[in-house]
Structure 1
Amino acid sequence: MTQFIGTGVALITPFKNDLSIDYDALERLIEYNIENGVEYLVISGTTGESVTITVEEKKALVSFISKVNNGRLPLVLGIGGNNTSSVIDEINTTDLSGIDALLSVSPYYSKPTQEGLYQHFKAIAEASPIPVILYNVPGRTSKNMEPETTIRLANDFDNIIGVKEAGNNVHQYLELLRTKPEDFMVISGDDDLALGVALAGGSGVISVIGQGLPKEFSEMIRLGIAGKAKEAYAIHFRLMPITSLIFAENNPAGIKAVLNELGISSTYVRLPLVEATISLKNKIKQELMVLGKS
């Protein structure tokens, strides 16, 4: 699965002022990221405001992104939830012909046991006709998927090819890297830890800030995977302030403020999220000026 080594970007869903999807902005975003060297695109993740996107909109987004991408980069589609049977139904009724892998989030709110998590992903792996990337994000799900459960799934199912780990826990990353099967991918879901994970043997990142600064961020990750720590950290240190700022209030309001400053898309988000405050927007604008981007 070398196609998923490097930087994937969790695409935002741009909106117009009436909160309908802004497909012109989405096309600009896709082209901007392809032109600036990211390795793959992720559709309908948390950053894409997946929980407030309708079923019809999701189908339209997949169709549109696939058409614009036109086979240039691998595509990963988010299909997950806390109702296992509904997730399987969505897998079975979704046209996956242009999709290279699924990204499936750990069940939120229900707080299953580790055995429950295993059985949930076992069912998904058995239903999916394409590879599956697990997504552990305990800050949003209220339940951590322990490394033992992730590695058990990795060993038991050939089509579970990796995990997007977003627990912001360095020890957990290292435990996954220490115990994983050789060809299983540990992908950072934490932009601030992504370089360290790459240097330690991880496969890269599914990034939020990467879609705003794709050239710089993807180069940093490539250097990290190559073990060129000094050069990679030089980029990391430059990007630290902006990476911190985009998560200061909520995601994706921060990255949407970045993309608005870059002239790619608006700052609109759907409730219950709200736009970044004026104060945060000003800080983001100032930091982009420091980076020579505004």
Structure 2
Amino acid sequence: MNTKFVPVMLTPFKVSGEVDYDCLTQLTEYYLKSGAQGLFANCLSSEMYELTEVERLQVVKHVVKVANGSVPVVATGTFEGSINEQAEFIKRMNDVGTQAVIIITGLMATQHEGEDVFNQRVFQLLNLTANIPVGLYECPVPYKRLLSPDQLKLFIDTGRVKYLKDTCLDLSQVKAKIRAGFGHDFGLYDAYMVNAVESLKAGAAGLSCIQGNYFPELISWLCKNYDNDELDTEVDKVMDFFVGNMDIMHNVYPISAKYCLQKQVINISTTVRAPGKTFTSDVKNQIDALYCKGLLLQKDLQLEVWP
């Protein structure tokens, strides 16, 4: 099966806080050179809630231009406002060249509203957006609203839902959701690194995890080799590396990821707009050590190593 690494893209900012489009070009090209077979722009890792409406569209349009048709680009298209307003923004996001526009599940209904309300609003949104391909994202913000396999199947059966970024962390649920998409043009992309290999073996379309913003080459390698019996030892090493360092990679993310990319080939500042993020000397030392471990692992796998 051709499994794909679809990075959840970072948004580079200048020290002044403006979007750094020159760096965004470099970053997009780096993802592609590292083996990405799709790009998820304007997502939580992109600090999408800290971007203006105009910036969201400009960032995605820039990524689409740089990718130049080499891989599909998906991007979030639902934010604040009524269903009608969200439908209009989905149309605008589609117009910049995305292959699918992503719906945030936590914005379709409040935590206190049931599946019936959620389903009604999603179907309403689909009706208002013509034949635009869409995806669903169980984004942790504003809250994580998980889909049941039966509920997901209702949407897949419309032929409109092509993509799910799954964050349920439950392998049995992931497998059931994959089965819900059998026979359809649909792919589940797991965000949870712990279940990565088992999800891929169960038929997940690929991985879309924050670890790809530290070492994209390693995630691409895993997507290619997870079921290669001759590389079982190496696959275990890659999994042990990522799972064993999950806490470090989540700490003050995405600053930590930007700093790690700095140490590779990307001229990216550690500036973020997300509130409450402080890059301390202790975190810096942890990322320095992580980078060295990742570098050794890449050399062990005979991957291209950046200076």
Q: CA deviation at 1:275?
A: 3.8
Contact kept in structure 1, 2:178 and 2:188, CA below 8 Å: yes
Match of 1:272 in 2: 275
CA displacement 1:211-260 (0-9 Å, x = unmatched): 331221111022236787725333222333444421134x4233223223
Contact kept in structure 2, 1:192 and 1:243, CA below 8 Å: no
Unaligned runs of 5+ in 1: none
Distance 1:95 1:163 in 2: 17
Question: Which 10-residue stretch deviates more, 113-122 or 76-85?
Answer: 76-85
Match of 2:193 in 1: 191
Distance 1:149 1:12 in 2: 30
Q: CA deviation at 1:193?
A: 2.5
Match of 1:84 in 2: 83
CA displacement 1:127-179 (0-9 Å, x = unmatched): 15332111123575243322221122112x10112311112222321222344
1:158 and 2:159 matched? yes
Q: CA deviation at 1:269?
A: 0.9
Contact kept in structure 2, 1:80 and 1:106, CA below 8 Å: no
- How many pairs were matched up? 290
Distance 2:101 2:228 in 1: 26
Unaligned runs of 5+ in 2: 296-305
- Cα distance change of structure 1 residues 254 and 114 upon mapping to structure 2, 3 Å threshold: farther
Percent identical among aligned pairs is 20
Q: CA deviation at 1:278?
A: 2.5
Q: Secondary structure at the match of 1:222?
A: helix
CA displacement 1:101-130 (0-9 Å, x = unmatched): 112210347223111221222223331533
Question: Where do 1:92-111 residues align within 5 Å?
Answer: 92-94=91-93, 96=95, 98-108=97-107, 110-111=110-111
Match of 2:239 in 1: 236
Contact kept in structure 1, 2:100 and 2:162, CA below 8 Å: no
Match of 1:116 in 2: 117
Q: CA deviation at 1:81?
A: 3.2
Match of 1:247 in 2: 250
Q: CA deviation at 1:78?
A: 1.1
- Cα distance change of structure 1 residues 173 and 238 upon mapping to structure 2, 3 Å threshold: same
Aligned partner (choices 7, 10, 29) of residue 9 of structure 1: 7
Q: CA deviation at 1:20?
A: 0.6
CA displacement 1:57-112 (0-9 Å, x = unmatched): 12221222122222222111111236422210202334525211112210347223
Q: Secondary structure at the match of 1:192?
A: helix
Question: Which 10-residue stretch deviates more, 89-98 or 11-20?
Answer: 89-98
Amino acid at match of 2:153: I
Match of 2:303 in 1: none
Amino acid at match of 1:129: N
Q: Secondary structure at the match of 1:76?
A: strand
Distance 1:128 1:252 in 2: 35
Q: Secondary structure at the match of 2:147?
A: coil
Aligned partner (choices 122, 133, 136) of residue 134 of structure 1: 136
Contact kept in structure 1, 2:105 and 2:144, CA below 8 Å: no
Distance 1:257 1:136 in 2: 27
Report the TM-score when normalising by structure 1.
Answer: 0.88
Match of 1:285 in 2: 288
Amino acid at match of 1:91: I
Distance 2:251 2:231 in 1: 27
Contact kept in structure 1, 2:137 and 2:164, CA below 8 Å: yes
Question: Which 10-residue stretch deviates more, 257-266 or 136-145?
Answer: 136-145
Q: Secondary structure at the match of 1:110?
A: coil
